[in-house]
Amino acid sequence: MDSSPFCKTRQYRMKKTLLLLLTGLATLTACHHGPRKPKPSPAVATGVEQEFMQRWIDQRAHDYLAQGKFTTDAEARAQATQDFYRQYPYTTVAQKAGMGAPGAK
Protein backbone atom coordinates (compact mmCIF):
# COMPACT_ATOMS: atom_id res chain seq x y z
CA MET A 1 0.00 0.00 0.00
CA ASP A 2 1.24 3.39 -0.92
CA SER A 3 1.78 5.77 2.01
CA SER A 4 1.74 9.00 0.00
CA PRO A 5 -0.37 11.90 1.30
CA PHE A 6 -2.59 11.66 -1.77
CA CYS A 7 -3.66 8.09 -0.92
CA LYS A 8 -4.41 8.97 2.69
CA THR A 9 -6.57 11.93 1.66
CA ARG A 10 -8.41 9.79 -0.88
CA GLN A 11 -9.04 7.05 1.69
CA TYR A 12 -10.27 9.64 4.17
CA ARG A 13 -12.72 11.09 1.62
CA MET A 14 -14.01 7.63 0.70
CA LYS A 15 -14.55 6.72 4.35
CA LYS A 16 -16.25 10.03 5.02
CA THR A 17 -18.50 9.66 1.97
CA LEU A 18 -19.36 6.08 2.88
CA LEU A 19 -20.14 7.10 6.45
CA LEU A 20 -22.42 9.92 5.27
CA LEU A 21 -24.23 7.61 2.85
CA LEU A 22 -24.75 4.94 5.50
CA THR A 23 -25.95 7.52 8.00
CA GLY A 24 -28.44 8.91 5.49
CA LEU A 25 -29.65 5.43 4.57
CA ALA A 26 -30.06 4.48 8.23
CA THR A 27 -32.04 7.66 8.86
CA LEU A 28 -34.35 7.02 5.92
CA THR A 29 -35.03 3.40 6.83
CA ALA A 30 -35.51 4.15 10.52
CA CYS A 31 -38.06 6.91 9.94
CA HIS A 32 -40.09 5.34 7.15
CA HIS A 33 -41.55 1.88 7.54
CA GLY A 34 -44.18 2.20 4.84
CA PRO A 35 -47.56 3.86 4.81
CA ARG A 36 -49.09 4.63 8.17
CA LYS A 37 -52.20 2.78 9.17
CA PRO A 38 -55.21 5.00 9.73
CA LYS A 39 -56.50 5.19 13.27
CA PRO A 40 -59.71 3.26 13.80
CA SER A 41 -62.81 5.36 14.13
CA PRO A 42 -64.57 5.51 17.51
CA ALA A 43 -67.76 4.74 15.57
CA VAL A 44 -66.43 1.22 15.02
CA ALA A 45 -66.22 0.58 18.76
CA THR A 46 -69.70 1.99 19.29
CA GLY A 47 -71.04 -0.24 16.52
CA VAL A 48 -69.49 -3.29 18.14
CA GLU A 49 -71.01 -2.34 21.50
CA GLN A 50 -74.43 -1.88 19.91
CA GLU A 51 -74.25 -5.27 18.22
CA PHE A 52 -73.15 -6.87 21.50
CA MET A 53 -76.00 -5.19 23.37
CA GLN A 54 -78.54 -6.36 20.79
CA ARG A 55 -77.30 -9.97 20.90
CA TRP A 56 -77.12 -9.96 24.71
CA ILE A 57 -80.65 -8.59 25.07
CA ASP A 58 -82.00 -11.07 22.51
CA GLN A 59 -80.42 -13.99 24.36
CA ARG A 60 -81.54 -12.78 27.78
CA ALA A 61 -85.12 -12.20 26.58
CA HIS A 62 -85.14 -15.68 25.05
CA ASP A 63 -83.92 -17.14 28.36
CA TYR A 64 -86.66 -15.28 30.28
CA LEU A 65 -89.34 -16.59 27.93
CA ALA A 66 -87.96 -20.14 28.11
CA GLN A 67 -87.97 -19.99 31.92
CA GLY A 68 -91.56 -18.72 31.92
CA LYS A 69 -90.70 -15.56 33.88
CA PHE A 70 -92.48 -13.36 31.32
CA THR A 71 -95.37 -14.08 28.99
CA THR A 72 -94.70 -11.55 26.23
CA ASP A 73 -91.59 -10.76 24.25
CA ALA A 74 -91.94 -7.03 25.00
CA GLU A 75 -91.85 -7.63 28.77
CA ALA A 76 -88.87 -9.96 28.49
CA ARG A 77 -86.97 -7.51 26.27
CA ALA A 78 -87.70 -4.59 28.62
CA GLN A 79 -86.32 -6.53 31.59
CA ALA A 80 -83.35 -7.76 29.55
CA THR A 81 -82.57 -4.17 28.52
CA GLN A 82 -82.61 -3.03 32.15
CA ASP A 83 -80.37 -5.99 33.05
CA PHE A 84 -77.90 -5.02 30.33
CA TYR A 85 -77.66 -1.43 31.55
CA ARG A 86 -77.19 -2.65 35.12
CA GLN A 87 -74.53 -5.22 34.21
CA TYR A 88 -72.61 -3.13 31.65
CA PRO A 89 -72.87 0.52 32.80
CA TYR A 90 -69.40 1.37 31.47
CA THR A 91 -70.36 0.83 27.82
CA THR A 92 -70.91 3.81 25.56
CA VAL A 93 -74.35 2.49 24.69
CA ALA A 94 -75.45 2.48 28.33
CA GLN A 95 -73.97 5.91 28.96
CA LYS A 96 -75.77 7.41 25.96
CA ALA A 97 -79.03 5.95 27.25
CA GLY A 98 -78.43 7.67 30.59
CA MET A 99 -78.09 4.34 32.35
CA GLY A 100 -74.31 4.34 32.57
CA ALA A 101 -71.99 4.67 35.52
CA PRO A 102 -72.56 7.77 37.68
CA GLY A 103 -70.56 10.73 36.46
CA ALA A 104 -69.56 9.00 33.24
CA LYS A 105 -70.85 10.64 30.06
pLDDT in tens, 37-90: 788 788 888 899 999 999 999 999 999 999 999 999 999 999 999 999 999 999
- The secondary structure element, H or E, covering residue 104 is none
Q: Is residue 2, in this structure, part of any structural domain at all? A: no
Q: Is residue 6, in this structure, part of any structural domain at all? A: no
Number of domains in the chain: 1
pTM across the whole model: 0.58
At residue 87, the pLDDT reads: 95
Q: Are 65 and 73 in contact (CB under 8 A)?
A: yes
Q: Environment class of residue 20 by beta-carbon count within 10 Å: exposed (0-12), middle (13-18) or buried (19+)? A: exposed
At residue 27, the pLDDT reads: 67
89: containing domain? 43-96
105 pLDDT exceeds 50?
A: no
Find all residues with CB under 8 Å of 27, minimum gap 6, and list them: none
Confidence of residue 104 (pLDDT cuts 50, 70, 90): very low
Quick count: other Cβ atoms within 10 Å of Cβ 57? Answer: 20
Q: Is residue 23, in this structure, part of any structural domain at all? A: no
